[in-house]
């Protein structure tokens, strides 16, 4: 039987309502999708945190929000992608904001931060805030800070090394790694090891001497390998020493190697990584709001503890996260010890003159000339003795 005449029928009004409902349901557009493009360093946007942020924002704004992450290896790439509009929000280093090559603020590539939209900024430690302001406006927000430090494998040391000069000790030839990403930091540690005043670290006329060039050349020659923008566990595995951000230490621990950061008596070049927002979002209210939401999210105690402290072994930048650290952690990071910071932390110089910038690049290229160092792509045997 194809049709049962005993079934109830709809009256004309009800039938019309059903028809309209079906038409409305069929024609209703799918939920809008918004994609925020984040350009950052490896370690700052783990999948679990990205997914949680997407979930929260999708619920809050009744839009499907996607955070698309692109990992960078250097400042030039960051500048190119920001200027071309291929990134909505980026992580920079504080000294780069005014760097003569880019002049992110002067060239209006980034916009001031709306602090009402980033309430967690009030929780940022006061020591970091002077580095992100221009003409009394905040143009960037810290996410993490730490040194290009002297990392050591405790398997080979009964006590921490006390000087950068250990990298020039023939005993450790072929047993350490340095970066070839943000290469200028290698000039800074060489200058510190040689006793240069801190104010001369970024001055080509002071560094351009036969003695300095010979010392830098030796640093390159004696390195076992280079690592790129961010050090990962396999870059350092099995070595004795490294110049490192320290990001690889949790991963090395998972591989059975206990590494720690030493505090060289000369001090260590220190970075403050910051979020900045592309000027292209100025007239895009929703995208701009989401960019500020991500910045605010990264300042939450949960993110700071999970990603910054546990994920990359770096101290948090917010006071609420500091309060949740153990006493041992606070002591290991020397938090609140202004005399320690003054003695052992050397904030990167801002290089505004093209002559200095080109000169530093020239010195690095000369130091590497004719030397082909590998970049490790996978784990190697751990016994380097």
Using H for helix, E for strand and C for coil, what is the string for the chain? Answer: CCCCCCCCCCCHHHHHHHHHHHHHHHHCCCCCEEEEEEEECCCCCCHHHHHHHHHHHHHHHCCEEEEEEEECCCHHHHHHHHHCCCCCEEEEEHHHHHCCCCCCCCCCCECCCCCCCCHHHHHECCCCHHHHEECCEECCEEEEEEECEEEEEHHHCCCCCCCHHHHHCHHHCCCEEEECCCCHHHHHHHHHHCCCCHHHCCCHHHHCCHHHHHHHHHHHHHCCEEECCCCCHHHHCCCCEEEECCCCHHHHHHCCCCEEECCCCCCEEEEEEEEEEEHHHCCCHHHHHHHHHHHHHHCCHHHHHHHHHHHHCCCCCEHHHHCCCCHHHHHHHCCCCHHHHHHHEEECCCCCCHHHHHHHHHHHHHHHCCCCCCECCCCCCCCCC
Half-sphere exposure of 189 (CA within 13 A, CB side): 28
Q: pLDDT confidence of 372, banded at 50, 70, 90? A: confident
Q: How many percent of the chain have pLDDT more than 90? A: 71
Whether 277 has a pLDDT exceeding 60, the answer reads yes
Whether 376 has a pLDDT exceeding 60, the answer reads yes
Give the pairing type, strands 225-227 and 176-179: parallel
pLDDT tens digits along 67-120: 999 998 788 888 999 999 999 999 999 988 888 888 899 899 999 999 999 999
Q: Do domains 33-145+272-327 and 146-271+337-368 have the same CATH topology?
A: yes
Of 225 and 8, which is predicted with more confidence?
225
CA distance 25 to 4: 28
pLDDT of 334: 83
Whether 126 has a pLDDT exceeding 60, the answer reads yes
- How is residue 350 annotated by DSSP? P
pLDDT of 272: 93
Half-sphere exposure of 340 (CA within 13 A, CB side): 11
pLDDT tens digits along 342-361: 899 999 998 888 899 999 99
Q: pLDDT confidence of 35, banded at 50, 70, 90? A: very high
Whether 14 has a pLDDT exceeding 80, the answer reads no
Task: Note whether 178 and 226 are within 8 A (CB).
Answer: yes
Q: pLDDT confidence of 379, banded at 50, 70, 90? A: low
User: Lowest-pLDDT range, 7-21, 229-243, 253-267?
Assistant: 7-21
pLDDT of 381: 46
pLDDT of 1: 39
Whether 3 has a pLDDT exceeding 90, the answer reads no
pLDDT of 332: 82
Average pLDDT value for the chain: 89
Q: pLDDT confidence of 377, banded at 50, 70, 90? A: confident
pTM summary value? 0.81
Q: Which of 40-49, 90-99, 123-132 has the highest mean pLDDT?
A: 40-49
Of 382 and 164, which is predicted with more confidence?
164
* Angle between the N-to-C axes of helices 184-193 and 210-222, in degrees from 0 to 180, rounded to the nearest 10: 110
pLDDT of 27: 45
Whether 18 has a pLDDT exceeding 80, the answer reads no
pLDDT tens digits along 302-336: 999 999 999 998 999 999 998 899 888 888 888 77
pLDDT tens digits along 150-187: 999 999 999 999 999 999 999 999 999 999 989 999 99
The CATH classification of domain 146-271+337-368, taken from the options 3.40.190.10, 3.60.20.10, 3.40.50.300, 3.50.50.60? 3.40.190.10
Q: Please determine, looking at this structure, whether the domain spanning 33-145+272-327 carries the CATH number 3.40.50.300.
A: no
**Domain range annotation of the chain:** 33-145+272-327, 146-271+337-368
């Amino acid at each position: 039987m194809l049709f049962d005449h005993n079934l109830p029928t709809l009256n004309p009004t009800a039938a019309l309502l059903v028809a309209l409902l079906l038409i409305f349901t069929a024609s209703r557009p799918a939920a809008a999708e918004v994609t925020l493009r984040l350009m950052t360093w490896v370690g700052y946007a783990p999948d679990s945190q990205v997914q949680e942020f997407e979930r929260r924002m999708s619920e809050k704004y009744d839009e499907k929000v996607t955070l698309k992450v692109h990992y960078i290896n250097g400042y030039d790439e960051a500048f190119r992608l920001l200027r071309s509009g291929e990134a909505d929000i980026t992580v920079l280093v504080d000294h780069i904001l005014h760097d003569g090559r880019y002049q992110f603020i002067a060239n209006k590539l980034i916009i001031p931060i709306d602090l009402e939209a980033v309430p967690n900024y009030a929780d940022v430690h006061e020591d970091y805030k002077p580095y992100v302001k221009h003409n009394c406006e905040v143009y960037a927000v810290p996410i993490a800070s730490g040194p290009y430090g002297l990392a050591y494998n405790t398997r080979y040391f009964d006590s921490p090394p006390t000087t950068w000069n250990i990298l020039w000790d023939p005993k450790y030839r072929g047993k350490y790694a340095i970066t070839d990403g943000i290469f200028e930091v290698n000039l800074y540690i060489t200058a510190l090891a040689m006793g240069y005043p801190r104010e001369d670290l970024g001055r080509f006329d002071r560094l351009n001497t036969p003695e300095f060039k010979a010392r830098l050349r030796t640093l390159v020659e004696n390195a076992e390998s280079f690592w790129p923008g961010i050090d990962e566990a396999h870059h350092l595995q099995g070595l004795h020493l490294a110049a490192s951000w320290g990001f690889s230490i949790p991963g090395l621990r998972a591989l059975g190697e206990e590494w720690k950061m030493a505090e060289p008596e000369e001090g260590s070049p220190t970075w403050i990584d910051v979020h900045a927002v592309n000027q292209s979002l100025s007239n895009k209210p929703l995208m701009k709001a989401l960019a500020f939401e991500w910045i605010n999210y990264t300042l939450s105690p949960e993110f700071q503890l999970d990603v910054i402290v546990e994920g990359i072994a770096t101290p948090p930048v917010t006071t609420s996260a500091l309060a949740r650290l153990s006493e041992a952690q606070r002591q290991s990071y020397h938090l609140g010890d202004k005399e320690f910071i003054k003695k052992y932390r050397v904030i990167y110089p801002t290089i505004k003159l093209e002559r200095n910038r080109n000169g530093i690049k020239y010195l690095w290229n000369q130091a590497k000339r004719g030397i082909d160092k590998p970049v490790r792509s996978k784990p190697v045997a751990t016994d380097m003795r």
